[in-house]
Amino acid sequence: MRYSLYQSPHLLLLQGYSQQHDSLVYVLNRDRHTVGQRTPSSKPSISLSAPDILPLHCTIRRQPLPDSGQAAGRLVLEPIPGAHISVNFSEVGHRTVVLHHGDLLSLGLYYLLLFKDPAQAQPLPARALARLRAVPQSCRLCGAALGARGAASPTQAALPRRQQLLLEFEPDLEDTLLQRIMTLIEPGGDDHKLTPAFLLCLCIQHSATHFQPGTFGQLLLKIARLIRETVWEKTKELAEKQAQLQEPISLASCAMADLVPDLQPILFWMSNSIELLYFIQQKCPLYMQSMEEQLDITGSKESLFSCTLTASEEAMAVLEEVVLYAFQQCVYYVSKSLYICLPALLECPPFQTERRESWSSAPELPEELRRVVSVYQAALDLLRQLQVHPEVASQMLAYLFFFSGTLLLNQLLDRGPSLSCFHWPRGVQACARLQQLLEWMRSAGFGAAGEHFFQKLSCTLNLLATPRAQLIQMSWTALRAAFPALSPAQLHRLLTHYQLASAMGPMSTWEPGAQDSPEAFRSEDVLESYENPPPIVLPSDGFQVDLEANCLDDSIYQHLLYVRHFLWGLRSRASPGSPGRPGSGASQPVCPEGMHHVVLDGHLGAPSCPLAPRDPGPAAREVAPERTLPLRGAPWAQAPPGRQPGRGGSQAGPPHTDSSCLLTPPSTPLGPEPGDPDWPESGGPCGKALPERQRNGLSGLRGAAPEGDSAALAEESPPAPSSRSSSTEDFCYVFTVELERGPSGLGMGLIDGMHTHLGAPGLYIQTLLPGSPAAADGRLSLGDRILEVNGSSLLGLGYLRAVDLIRHGGKKMRFLVAKSDVETAKKIHFRTPPL
């Protein structure tokens, strides 16, 4: 190693997460180390791979000792708000902690590290040895206690104990929590699509087991109505969009590619409603039984029991209504696409248009058949992507097959000789097309449904593909036996059309027999009815939401952590004057119950926020058009007075290659250099907008002394955090800008703050294109930070998600912008190359 472990402080890994990615030793040989999970926008110097580690989890930096001229100093650990960190099994919270030889660091749920400093002491102190002996021997993945050495056999070892999953909240936060869960997942995104159902089930469980008896009934009804309103709103938007299509409807106007984004939210909530409905059906009787045991069923308590039972039954009825309504809406719009492309199967081009490149290659689907198959495939992919229950997905495909078979059969029987398939060569070709379609259905796993719903159409096309000489020799009785799926009325109509198309006289042998004569001439029995579709049956098993499962999807768990963090933020804002809050003169705020898991079976800690924090919700969006940035209640204001907070968020966005200038043409200049006319000066709007004390934070001391310099710092006193941490104290005020896209877009070049000298997440303006809408407004400057787009907060969002919001925000857009000072603007201008 380049640095000897006998010379440099280091972290020794005692318990980790990944044998492939974790290192045994992390040498602390720099003045500053960042610890976190490596992402496209975060390159920490110490990379940890557990899912509950934030992209920037904490910072370890060297702080010179007071009145010491030596370069060496003590190492201090600075936590990031929301990161779960313990030192010697004590929660750190927001405190900056001095590291001592022998300290045990717990980072998240999985990592346990021993801090060793050869300069402080060679052997471990006695108290450190005592802590090591107290460390439970546990599995680094599940926390289950491991068997002792010499155990009889691995089969006798205790099975991993399931981690308890809870979502605790107060009744007054219920409505805000539900609204946040309802808007948490984008149906078209990569998140687990059943996350809302899982989180809502946790809410129901907590309400039924912790709140006043009967409260959960009203919660069930509230959840069901919210989902119904959401589905109705989405279907209304889809109907308005479809109403704008010009008549007559063409293949281009009903393309599935344009329809899929509008169907996603409808199917998304149908899928979650199915899971919620099953959970309520299974758990409500248990909750009601528990409620019955707690209450003496007399008088008003009997009324409470009855009201709760009624509310739960109404909630289940509403969810069933949502499932059926969403099912019908999706079938209706997909059927419109099929209605356009299906008739082409009966009007086949000549055989000569079919080609094979070689005898070994499989024949490609003809264009008219490919269009039909593409609709089925798009519907199937959408159902699977949104994790619709497999039985419900099969029923939807069966419904589409029913519609398709009925439509084609009725067109054959109604249009008759006008169709080319009534001529034998084209009839053979149409029959071959249908066999190719059935073959695709079998390969997709729907062969039985396809054969059932296309049975009559298959019989009809087989008759048309039969050589004329063979048909002439067949009697009515023989035809009925050869094509049993057709009713007498349908067979008679088909033979009549065949005679007209072939210009042949009446065939006496094709006249219906005495037994079938009355039925054969009933014209009302010729066409198939659309009123007898396959029934919609809700499934009884095969559900995915299970609160007692031993294994939980990482995406769902990360969103659970985020919701806990969201609730913690609501509690913090709701009690600004409580003990431990900033401004109260007390110490750090204590993370409330429910923020972390209880430490069980050797778990050394628990995560406190997800890898990709989300929109703080509607409550955080109600911002005045222009005002001084509020400090109370904001995430960056959780530190005590006189201390500059650390970075208030983390980023784990999708990969991207370049973080700058994605909203402007490639030829956009990178912006003026310091000293140019366009460079913001101290006399500009962000230099004199507010007094110096307000611009630099509550204390007015930021930047007054070099990093690490502090007067009369006691050995055990908590040191001041690094001035390199970024906070919104860098901003002067917040204002609203409305822009309309021009020919070159908005004219703003944006960059991720993590890729600049600022070193903090956030979306900042790095360039302004002269003459663009952004530059013409006159209020935007280099270094300004974009906080909201059209009312949607960008705090905590990844870079690409934030840029995507802007790109798809419409022609007229509204931005909430935080004005930056000169120092911040300079840091944003100079880009830091990725590590």
Residue 511 C-beta-side C-alpha neighbours within 13 Å: 6
How would you classify residue 596: left for phi > 0, otherwise alpha for psi between -120 and 50, otherwise beta?
Answer: beta
- Quickly state the pLDDT bin for 576 (edges 50, 70, 90): low
Half-sphere exposure of 670 (CA within 13 A, CB side): 10
pLDDT at 437: 93
Q: Is the pLDDT of residue 786 over 60?
A: yes
**pLDDT, mean of residues 52-59:** 87
Does residue 63 register a pLDDT over 80? yes
Is the pLDDT at 293 greater than 60? The verdict is yes
Sign, CA torsion 225/229/234/239? positive
CA distances in angstroms from 647 to 78, 360, 728, 783, listed in the order given: 10, 61, 9, 17
Q: How many CB atoms lie within 10 A of CB 155?
A: 7
Q: How far apart are the first and last CA of the chain?
A: 21
Q: Give the C-alpha separation, 346 to 715, whole Å.
A: 88
Report the predicted TM-score, pTM, of the whole model to 2 decimal places. Answer: 0.55
Give pLDDT tens digits for 602-633. 333 333 333 333 343 433 333 333 333 333 33
Question: Degrees (nearest 5) of the Cα angle 364, 368, 371?
Answer: 85
Q: Which runs of consecutive H residues, i.e. helices, occur in 600-719? A: 692-695
- pLDDT, residue 799, reads 81
What's the DSSP call for residue 727? -
- Pair 451, 439: CB distance under 8 Å: no
Residue 552: the pLDDT is 79
Residues 6+ apart with CB under 8 A from 193: 185, 187, 268, 271, 272, 385, 386, 387
| Continuous segment of H or E residues that includes residue 493 | helix 488-502
> CA-to-CA distance for 451 and 434, rounded, in angstroms?
10
> 395: closest CA among 302, 300, 486, 327?
327
CB 148 within 8 A of CB 123: no
Q: What is the pLDDT of residues 315-330, one digit of tens each?
A: 999 999 999 999 999 9
Name which of 343-357, 393-407, 648-662 the model is least confident about. Answer: 648-662
**Which helix (H) or strand (E) element contains residue 74?**
strand 73-79
Q: To the nearest whole percent, how much of the chain has pLDDT over 70?
A: 69
Residues facing 13 on adjacent strands: 113
Asked whether the beta carbons of 765 and 773 are under 8 A apart, the reply is: no
Whether omega before 248 lies within 30 degrees of 0, making that bond cis, reads: yes
Q: What are phi and psi of 626, to 5 degrees?
A: -155, 125
What pLDDT band is residue 246 in, cutting at 50, 70 and 90?
low
Backbone angles phi, psi at 592, to 5 degrees: -70, 170
Instruction: Write the pLDDT tens digit of every residue in 627-656.
Output: 333 333 333 333 333 333 333 333 333 333
Ordered structural domains, the chain, with CATH: 10-134 (2.60.200.20), 171-343 (1.10.357), 389-396+405-525 (no CATH), 615-637+655-703+727-835 (2.30.42.10)
SS3 content of the chain, % helix, strand, coil (to 5): 40, 10, 50
Q: In what order do the strands lie in the sheet with 58-64?
A: 46-47, 32-36, 58-64, 73-79, 97-98
Taking residues 70-99, report their average pLDDT.
84
φ/ψ of 313, rounded to 5, equals: -65, -40
Helix and strand numbers (H, E) in the chain are: 20, 18
Provide the pLDDT for residue 128.
66
